[in-house]
């Protein structure tokens, strides 16, 4: 945190770059349009309305990240909750990577070099929404490891963002942030509200939302017709720190808000949100909900109008301007590639802009810390490398019940939880498992992960002020958010080599089997991520308690026998289902 004078000085320093940001914004806009025009699919409205905010976030130093090394363990983590606006990310990175490629070719300095398999390049835009190409929603894999969770289904990214922030906090990774981009319509699902409460309760002062307040989703009615208030009330009543601007497409007002958001004082150590009033479909000549998932017809009059503005501003001559689309897919692709290069010529012919983008990205990348003094997880003493942890023959006899004993199997879970965290405390000075439940911690016995074993008193309940290493989270009846927090935590890998090992937290979450369906969406996304991401991730125990005939008199409404069926809706061989 900085003083008011320092915040103002930072704004003044950043204001010197507004002219360059304006060009970067225009380049990104064009890349979005050309990509979607060729594919005739995608989401232009929310992608365009967020461009200003993304440029400031990525180039101001508000986010410490490294375009060359997304695997850095102490990088700030970016989650595109509004996963459908992924063209925004592809377009921005195609501009950034081109600047880095130009600078590397000019200097041969390796500080500008990015392996092509690690980043979205301009030529990759031609493969948007094609098999083997760039996916239609946000995925933490391939060329987009900058993204730190798979998103797309409305609201699903919110609890994952909270879980990742919690993992950073519990690991003692001070100063490392989670930055989440979302739109106002995406805040209407219940998961968003569950996350707002949970993030405050967990004291996630390292969680930052940037909300694109454009007042429209997919249908014709504005969000404000059915949702009262403003982001100030939506988040402020949940205890969050709120900053905002009515002018989300003006560099000065937007930058002031973002500087205050990231460098202003947070006295109460609560989550923060910055909102910006925008127009969905800005500059696309198709606005509000009409721009959500509808692209202009290929080479239509409106499409060329979006090119005319850029052509007149920068003196660009687009191939086939004003004419119908070529007749074959090959010709359409070639024309798109020609026009992508004509847009990029604006960058290539502006050496000062190339220098600014490349040097800024290198400097921000170099600012990501390699070590953090407060970090609690040892790189050289990882519990998951201990074979005793996975060899039940070496478990203490107290864990086992004599043959013939009549005990609930949940009692075994409680004992195992207490033992495993006590063992890790003794040998590794840290817990392995963090658990939560939908106000059913003792009922499902998942509370055992926080309880005493032998002479170890247990890590106890998590408390945002008094016990940030507590391994039982004080969650209420928030099944969806609980599963999202659990998988979000398990996604954060603090290993020095993410492809070889996982060093982080395992998690466990529970509810009654009757409500297992509320957890499925987040578990499915995590399963997809775990299969596709080249980096190791942790494991999650999903407990469906009271899932059989014992629901007895509750069965008319709780249908417990059937709900756990959702736990089988995963690819074969990707889960262990007991």
pLDDT tens digit sequence for 101-155: 999 999 999 999 999 999 999 999 999 999 999 999 999 999 999 999 999 999 9
Nearest to 134 by CA among 67, 3, 42: 42
Please state, in angstroms and rounded to a whole number, the distance separating the CA atoms of residues 464 and 470: 9
The answer to whether residues 323 and 350 touch, using CB atoms and an 8 Å cutoff, is: no
Please state, in angstroms and rounded to a whole number, the distance separating the CA atoms of residues 519 and 148: 20
The answer to whether residues 93 and 70 touch, using CB atoms and an 8 Å cutoff, is: no
Task: Determine the length of the chain.
Answer: 578
Q: Which residues pair with 207 in a beta bridge?
A: 178
Please state, in angstroms and rounded to a whole number, the distance separating the CA atoms of residues 550 and 536: 38
Q: Where are the beta strands (DSSP E) in 313-453?
A: 433-437
C-alpha angle 361-362-368 in degrees, rounded to nearest 5 = 95
- Helix, strand, coil tally for the chain in percent (to 5): 50, 10, 40
Q: What are phi and psi of 559, to 5 degrees?
A: 30, 50
**pLDDT given at position 512:** 83
Give the torsion sign (CA, 522, 274, 65, 346).
Answer: positive
Domains within the chain, CATH numbers bracketed: 4-366 (3.40.50.970), 383-568 (3.40.50)
**pLDDT given at position 550:** 52
Nearest to 186 by CA among 87, 65, 79, 90: 79
Instruction: Give the 3-state secondary structure of residue 517.
Output: helix
Please state, in angstroms and rounded to a whole number, the distance separating the CA atoms of residues 355 and 103: 7
The answer to whether residues 60 and 299 touch, using CB atoms and an 8 Å cutoff, is: no
H or E element, residue 541: strand 540-545
Give the torsion sign (CA, 165, 160, 162, 60).
Answer: positive
**pLDDT given at position 577:** 83
What pLDDT tens digit does each residue of the chain (578 aa) get? 556 678 999 999 999 999 999 999 999 999 999 999 999 999 999 999 999 999 999 999 999 999 999 999 999 999 999 999 999 999 999 999 999 999 999 999 999 999 999 999 999 999 999 999 999 999 999 999 999 999 999 999 999 999 999 999 999 999 999 999 999 999 999 999 999 999 999 999 999 999 999 999 999 999 999 999 999 999 999 999 999 999 999 999 999 999 999 999 999 999 999 999 999 999 999 999 999 999 999 999 999 999 999 999 999 999 999 999 999 999 999 999 999 999 999 999 999 999 999 999 999 999 999 999 999 999 899 999 999 999 999 999 999 999 999 988 889 999 999 999 999 999 999 999 999 999 999 989 999 999 999 999 999 999 999 999 999 999 999 999 999 999 999 999 999 999 999 999 999 999 888 788 899 999 999 999 999 999 999 999 999 877 555 555 666 676 655 677 888 889 888 888 88
**pLDDT given at position 511:** 87
pLDDT digits (tens, 9 = 90+) for 282-291: 999 999 999 9
The answer to whether residues 449 and 417 touch, using CB atoms and an 8 Å cutoff, is: yes
CA 544 to chain centre: 27
Nearest to 469 by CA among 483, 487, 455, 449: 449
Please state, in angstroms and rounded to a whole number, the distance separating the CA atoms of residues 469 and 459: 7
Contacts for 393 with CB less than 8 Å, ≥ 6 apart: none
Please state, in angstroms and rounded to a whole number, the distance separating the CA atoms of residues 99 and 118: 15
- β 207-213/272-277 pair status: parallel
Count of helices and strands (H, E) across the chain? 16, 8
Please state, in angstroms and rounded to a whole number, the distance separating the CA atoms of residues 338 and 308: 16
């Amino acid at each position: 945190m900085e003083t008011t004078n320092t915040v103002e000085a930072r704004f003044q320093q950043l204001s010197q770059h507004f002219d360059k940001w304006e060009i970067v914004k225009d380049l990104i806009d064009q890349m979005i349009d050309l990509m979607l025009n060729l594919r005739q699919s995608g989401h232009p409205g929310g992608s365009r309305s967020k461009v200003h905010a993304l440029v400031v976030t990525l180039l101001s130093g508000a986010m410490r990240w490294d375009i060359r090394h997304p695997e850095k363990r102490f990088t700030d983590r970016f989650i595109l909750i509004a996963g459908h606006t992924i063209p925004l990310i592809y377009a921005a990175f195609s501009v950034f990577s081109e600047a880095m490629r130009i600078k590397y070719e000019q200097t041969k300095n390796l500080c500008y070099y990015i392996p092509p398999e690690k980043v979205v390049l301009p030529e990759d835009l031609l493969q948007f929404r094609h098999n083997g190409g760039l996916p239609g929603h946000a995925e933490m894999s391939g060329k987009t490891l900058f993204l730190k969770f798979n998103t797309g289904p409305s609201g699903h990214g919110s609890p994952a963002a909270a879980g990742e922030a919690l993992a950073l906090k519990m690991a003692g990774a001070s100063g490392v942030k989670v930055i989440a981009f979302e739109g106002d319509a995406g805040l209407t699902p219940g998961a968003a509200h569950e996350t707002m409460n949970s993030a405050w309760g967990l004291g996630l002062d390292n969680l930052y939302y940037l909300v694109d307040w454009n007042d429209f989703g997919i249908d014709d009615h504005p969000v404000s017709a059915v949702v009262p208030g403003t982001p100030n009330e939506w988040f402020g009543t949940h205890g969050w720190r709120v900053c905002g601007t009515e002018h989300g497409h003006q560099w000065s007002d937007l930058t002031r808000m973002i500087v205050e958001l990231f460098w202003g004082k947070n006295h109460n150590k609560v989550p923060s949100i910055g909102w910006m009033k925008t127009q969905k479909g800005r500059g696309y000549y198709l606005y509000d909900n009409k721009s959500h998932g509808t692209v202009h017809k290929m080479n239509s009059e409106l499409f060329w109008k979006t090119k005319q503005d850029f052509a007149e501003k920068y003196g660009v001559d687009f191939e086939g301007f004003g004419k119908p689309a070529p007749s074959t897919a090959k010709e359409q692709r070639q024309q798109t590639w020609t026009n992508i290069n004509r847009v990029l010529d604006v960058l290539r012919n502006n050496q000062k802009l190339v220098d600014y983008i490349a040097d800024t990205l290198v400097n921000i990348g170099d600012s990501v810390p390699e070590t953090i003094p407060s970090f609690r997880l040892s790189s050289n003493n990882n519990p998951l490398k201990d074979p005793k942890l996975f060899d039940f023959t070496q478990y203490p006899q107290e864990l086992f019940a004599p043959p013939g004993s009549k005990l609930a199997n949940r009692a075994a879970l409680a004992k195992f939880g207490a033992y495993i965290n006590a063992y890790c405390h003794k040998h590794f000075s840290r817990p392995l498992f963090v658990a939560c439940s939908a106000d059913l911690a003792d009922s499902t016995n998942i509370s055992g992960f926080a309880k005493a074993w032998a002479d170890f008193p247990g890590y106890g309940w998590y408390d945002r002020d008094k016990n940030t290493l507590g391994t039982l989270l004080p969650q209420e009846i928030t099944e969806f958010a609980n599963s999202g927090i659990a998988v979000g935590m398990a996604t954060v890998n603090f290993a020095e080599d993410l492809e070889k090992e996982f060093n982080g937290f395992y998690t466990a979450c529970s509810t009654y089997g009757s409500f297992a369906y509320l957890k499925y969406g987040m578990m499915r996304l995590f399963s997809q991520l775990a299969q596709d991401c080249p980096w190791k991730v942790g494991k999650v125990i999903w407990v469906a308690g009271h899932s059989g005939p014992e629901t007895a008199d509750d069965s008319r409404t709780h249908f417990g026998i059937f709900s756990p069926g959702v736990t089988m809706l995963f690819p074969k061989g990707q889960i262990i289902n007991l």
